[in-house]
Amino acid sequence: MPALVYEAPRVMTMRDLPVPIPQPDEVLIEVEYSGICGSELSGFLGQSSIRQPPLVFGHEISGRIVALGSDIDSSWGISIGDEVTANPLVSCGRCDLCAQGRQQLCPRRLLLGASLPGGNARYVAVPASAVLPVPAGMTLAVAAMVEPVAFALRAVEVSSAAPDSAVLVVGAGAIGLFILQVLAASGVRTRYVVERNPDRLAMAVALGCIPLDPGDRGLRAVVSEATGGQGVDVAIDAVGTTATRRECLLSLAPGGTMVLVGLHSDETELPLNTAVRQELVIRGAFAYSPVHFRRGLAWLADGTVGLQQGVVVARLDEGQRWYEQLVSGHPASKVLLRPAPSGG
């Protein structure tokens, strides 16, 4: 089958790989769309410890079931031909964290497109338990976006943002935009956004967010002015650089919460005495549980969230070019790769 294989930093090539044979508890999906995730860009650059070549990326997938493992009988309610998406985070289901519904922290968790072959290929095998049918009326292109929505739901949950919280989101890529939509749907009235790319910023403003431009004065000063000297109650960093983490931390009101979502830099120097004196909360948010995944599908289906602009559909064999373009700051809100023989 055709597959886009990450061979080395900045090198992805089309290769002919064997079609995966589904294990007894798996199904085989013919991939219709495989979204490029921001978290994969550092992998593409060779900066992600969990993505080692050779590897087929892709954890935001939709498609049709073409084969069932031997254990998957009619009681599963899954049939060949069904349109599906899949939760790419495979957990053990046996540990304490899985039992608590915190599958994203399972020590034996595996991720499609990182520790397992992903969706940048004609076919991908996934556990039948990970599969969700696409609701009537939802296109497979939209169904490929459940994963970032699920992540956004978890990030907002971690933030503990309340309707009267002032919330700042730094970075308006797909995750940032979905976080802003989830905040709005959760009743959070004051939503600030920082984004350098004018097209992405326009998308955030169209969602009713207040744009902030750090300009020469720096974000802390601009946030202070916007909030009457208070600072924000919650700052969500959907970029993950040293600069954005610092700016988020320094923009918080006393007792405020910073949520780390972006994974750009591993090590960051921060003014932590400020965190001590201001009793700031610093929290990471990673991935999602199956609860978030199901809610993400429902919220996309009823239109509570969704990307209205900037979605690019491209052929899988154009993938290398699109990873490059996204690394160089292309404003697409989401790039969906199509392995189908008919192409884009």
Q: Which residues bind Zn ion (CB under 5 A)?
A: 37, 91-92, 95, 98, 106, 147
106 vs 153 by CB, closer to Zn ion: 106
Least distance to Zn ion, CB of residue 172, Å = 16
Least distance to Zn ion, CB of residue 94, Å = 6
Calculate the dihedral angle through the C-alpha atoms of 93, 97, 100, 105, rounding to the nearest 10 degrees: -100
Q: Could you tell me which of 331, 308, 323, 309 has the C-alpha nearest to residue 39?
A: 323
98 vs 232 by CB, closer to Zn ion: 98
Identify whether the C-beta of residue 29 lies closer than 8 Å to the C-beta of residue 74: no
Least distance to Zn ion, CB of residue 327, Å = 16
Residues 6+ apart with CB under 8 A from 157: 285, 292
Least distance to Zn ion, CB of residue 127, Å = 13
Least distance to Zn ion, CB of residue 82, Å = 23
95 vs 243 by CB, closer to Zn ion: 95
Task: Read off the tokens for 27.
Answer: 């199904």
Hey, what amino acid is at 13?
T
Quote the DSSP letter at residue 18.
P
Strand bridging mode 131-133 / 83-86: antiparallel
41 vs 280 by CB, closer to Zn ion: 41
Least distance to Zn ion, CB of residue 5, Å = 19
Least distance to Zn ion, CB of residue 35, Å = 7
166 vs 336 by CB, closer to Zn ion: 336
Quote the DSSP letter at residue 332.
-
Least distance to Zn ion, CB of residue 34, Å = 11
Q: Could you tell me which of 185, 226, 179, 222 has the C-alpha nearest to residue 203?
A: 179
What is the rounded CA–CA span in Å between residue 191 and residue 236?
11
147 vs 247 by CB, closer to Zn ion: 147
Identify whether the C-beta of residue 227 lies closer than 8 Å to the C-beta of residue 250: no
Please state whether the peptide bond connecting residue 331 to the residue before it is cis, i.e. omega within 30 degrees of 0.
Answer: no
Identify whether the C-beta of residue 344 lies closer than 8 Å to the C-beta of residue 61: no
316 vs 335 by CB, closer to Zn ion: 335
- Residue 190: what are its φ and ψ, rounded to 5°? -105, 105
5 vs 37 by CB, closer to Zn ion: 37
Least distance to Zn ion, CB of residue 169, Å = 17
What is the rounded CA–CA span in Å between residue 238 and residue 247?
12
* H or E, element range at 273: helix 272-277
Q: How far is CA 133 from CA 12, 22, 139, in A?
A: 31, 18, 12
154 vs 191 by CB, closer to Zn ion: 154
3-class secondary structure, 65: strand
> Three-state secondary structure along 70-128?
CCCCHHHCCCCCCEEEECCEECCCCCHHHHCCCHHHCCCCEEECCCECCCCECEEEEEH
